[in-house]
Structures are given as C-alpha cells and as structure tokens.
Amino acid sequence: MAITTTSHFRWLPTGDEVLAEMIAAIEKARHSIRLEMYIFQDCPLAERFRQTLLAALGRGVKVQVLVDSLGSVSLPDSYWDEFREKGGAFRWFNPFQLRRMTFRNHRKSLTCDDKLAIIGGVNIAPEYQGDGVHSGWCDLGLRVSGSCAEELAEAFDHMFAGAELKLKLFARLRKSHRQKTVRLPEGKLLLSGPGRNNPLKTTLAHDLKKARRVQIICAYFLPPRAMRRALMHTARAGGKVQLILPGKSDVPMSQLAARSLYRRLMRAGVEIYEYQPQILHAKLFLIDEAVMVGSANLDPRSLSINYELLLRLTEPALAASGKELFERCLTHCRRIEPVAWRKERTLWTKIKSKLAYFLLARLDTWIARYQWRGLKRSE
C-alpha cells in the first residue's frame, strides 16, 4: 500500500528509508548541513555517515554536527578528529556533569541547505536499520521542505550555540529557544525543553482535551494524569481512542510503568494494542485532523525534561496518510483484552509496575526539578 505525500512533506515509514534519505540529502547538499542526534554509535552505518560528511566538507559545504554526550556516551571524542581537521564543526550537547546530567537533547534532525529537513525518532545506530517488521526497530520519519526546513535550521543554530550549557549561554538559551512555538503555513513547530509552560505539553493537552478521535503510536507511554483523563473522557463520550505501544521495548522499566496504566484506560473504553514483531520506537500522534511527528514520546522526559521537537500539521492529505501508517502498524499488533490482561497480571508484576511508575513518573521528574532550580540559583 503506497503512502500518499504532499508537496512539502513525505513520510519515511521505516528506519531504512529514513537513513537512506538522510545519506542522499547529505550527498546532494551544496551549502550547509546541520545534523543533530541523540545517539551516534560507532558502527559501519555511522562510518558511512562520517565519510559522507567528510565528502561534503571536501565540496566546500559548511557542516555542523551536534550529538548528545550522554546518549552517545560510548563514542570517543577522537572519532571526530578528522572531521574537525577538515573544517567540520562538532559539539557535544551538555558535556557530562553530575549536577545537570538529566537535561538531554533528544532531538533527531538533519537540515540541508536550509531547504530540506528530515525529522523523527531514528538515531544513527544499527538497530534502526530494517523495516521494523522483519528486522530492525519499528520507527518512522518525515521529510520536510520549505519554511519548515528554515525554522528547523534556526532551531539547530540555537542548540549548537548553547551546546555546552554554560550558565550565561544556558540563560540565553532558556529565554530564546527552550520553549518556543513557531507558526508555519501548514501548522506549528513545537520546540521544547526543561521547565514549566512547555509548548509541546500544552499543545498536546489542549488537543487531547477536545478530541473525538485519537490514534497514538508511542515508544514510551507515561502521560500525566490530566492527559490520561482526557483520553478516558474521549473514550467514555463515544470517541475513538487507540494506542499502539511496545510489545518489546529497549527500556523494560518504561514498559512496566506504562502497563500499570492499562487497566484503568481499558475500563474507560480506550483500545490498547502492543506491537509484536520488533522493538517499537516510533512516535506518531493523530488527534482529530492534526498529525504530530518528531522526537517526543508521551512521557515525563519528553514533556518536561528533554529538549524535543514536534511538528503539528493540519494538511488533510498528510493526516490521511498518517492514518494509513497507523492502520498498517495495527496489523502487526496484539490487542490487549481486559479480562485476559487481569489474569496475566501477577502480584509481583503489579508491584514491579508500580515501582517503575514511581521511578519514572515521580523520582526522575523530582531530580530534574531539583537540578533545574540549582542551575537557576547559580546564574
């Protein structure tokens, strides 16, 4: 089944397609390349990216790379020596310091020549290679062009300038970029970071509160109480709420925490499905006629702690093709049935799920707030 496209947006439904499109975009770039990754793992795939970036430098292209220091903690700094020697600009985001280690740049984006960009959940690591069914993790991306690509380039520049999170830069980053909604002809670009009044969280909460139809694919699902209530209200009022969550997860604690919410959601009429073939890492939100895609999950880290980006678009053709993607993913899922689910859950499983919920929804958020207050006091 073909996925329809628009003039400015094109779905990339698998990790293979995202990675291939990124390589092709880098090879075609003539003026500038901005690459932002949470995970850049030393492997043959990463080497192909590095060589393609080096070739771009040889053509005279300005190349900048920003990689999160904790997400890519196993990658040595010397990996980028040749890249720097040939004129490339590389920075680690938030070099490791215990007092601010919780704040991570979880964004994944590539912008070329200020005209074309690719966003989504795919990192540069071998597990993202494949179709998500027979091999590799299940993920997706979106190719964008036009004014959206220009705004993504500007967002990268803000993050690159404040990558070290030095206090003065951190203050400036917080004012100009940390929480920003960019209005586009086709919708909104939501750029979020730690702190309150997060535009990504606010927009999702607003959309869910008035939704009649909700379809969500999410790797890490731990929404705050208000969002859970909104989902349950929609289902009780006769609306449709369908969640595709991981049957296999790279973060078992996150899966345990999410499963602690299943029973209450299903009692309200929410349909829950677990993806079976591979690890689920995709992020896609379809709320009425809006489609949202980017790096964010529906959990405390994405909504309150990490630097994330999410595109909210209202183009009918894109929303329709997003629903096609959802339905395609649904064919590989097992529906969680309430009666069978209650029988499967042992007392020990329930205890582990509650503990996981406390650690991720409470303790992690408390540590982030403590570190955030400490940074503000020290400015």
Domains of the chain: 9-177 (3.30.870.10), 199-360 (3.30.870.10)
The predicted pLDDT at position 176 comes to 44
The answer to whether residues 227 and 193 touch, using CB atoms and an 8 Å cutoff, is no
Mean pLDDT of 83-89: 98
Per-residue confidence band for 190, with pLDDT thresholds at 50, 70 and 90: very high
DSSP 77: G
The predicted pLDDT at position 186 comes to 87
The predicted pLDDT at position 169 comes to 44
The CA distance from 190 to 41, in Å, is 27
The CA distance from 75 to 131, in Å, is 26
Question: DSSP alpha helices (H): ranges in the chain?
Answer: 15-28, 44-58, 81-85, 147-161, 167-176, 199-209, 225-236, 252-259, 262-267, 300, 316-330, 338-344, 347-357, 364-378
The predicted pLDDT at position 262 comes to 97
Least confident of 63-72, 151-160, 356-365: 356-365
Q: Does the pLDDT of residue 269 top 50, yes or no?
A: yes
pTM: 0.92
Percentage above 90 pLDDT, the chain: 79
> pLDDT averaged over the chain?
91
The CA distance from 87 to 47, in Å, is 18
Sheet holding 141-145, edge to edge: 9-12, 141-145, 116-120, 109-112, 32-37, 62-68, 89-93
The predicted pLDDT at position 379 comes to 45
The predicted pLDDT at position 145 comes to 93
The answer to whether residues 138 and 277 touch, using CB atoms and an 8 Å cutoff, is yes
Give residue 70's Cα distance to chain centre. 16
The predicted pLDDT at position 234 comes to 97
Per-residue confidence band for 243, with pLDDT thresholds at 50, 70 and 90: very high
Q: Locate 70 and state its tokens.
A: 């904790």
Per-residue confidence band for 282, with pLDDT thresholds at 50, 70 and 90: very high
Which span out of 2-11, 138-147, 361-370 was modeled with the highest average pLDDT?
138-147
Q: Does the pLDDT of residue 232 top 60, yes or no?
A: yes
Q: Does the pLDDT of residue 166 top 70, yes or no?
A: no
The predicted pLDDT at position 171 comes to 47
The predicted pLDDT at position 209 comes to 94
Q: Does the pLDDT of residue 376 top 60, yes or no?
A: no
The predicted pLDDT at position 8 comes to 87
The answer to whether residues 35 and 50 touch, using CB atoms and an 8 Å cutoff, is no
The predicted pLDDT at position 373 comes to 63
Q: Does the pLDDT of residue 152 top 80, yes or no?
A: yes
Q: Does the pLDDT of residue 4 top 90, yes or no?
A: no
Q: Does the pLDDT of residue 11 top 90, yes or no?
A: yes
Least confident of 148-157, 235-244, 270-279, 353-362: 353-362
Per-residue confidence band for 172, with pLDDT thresholds at 50, 70 and 90: very low
Beta strand pairing call for 240-246 and 180-184:
unpaired
Q: Does the pLDDT of residue 175 top 50, yes or no?
A: no
Residue type, 26: I
The answer to whether residues 34 and 110 touch, using CB atoms and an 8 Å cutoff, is yes
Least confident of 135-144, 287-296, 340-349: 340-349
Q: Does the pLDDT of residue 63 top 90, yes or no?
A: yes
Radius of gyration of the chain (CA): 20
Percentage above 70 pLDDT, the chain: 91
The 3-state DSSP composition of the chain as helix, strand, coil percent (nearest 5) reads 45, 25, 30
Mean pLDDT of 73-83: 96
Q: Is 378 strand, coil or helix?
A: helix
Mean pLDDT of 125-141: 97
The predicted pLDDT at position 372 comes to 63
Per-residue confidence band for 3, with pLDDT thresholds at 50, 70 and 90: low
DSSP 363: I
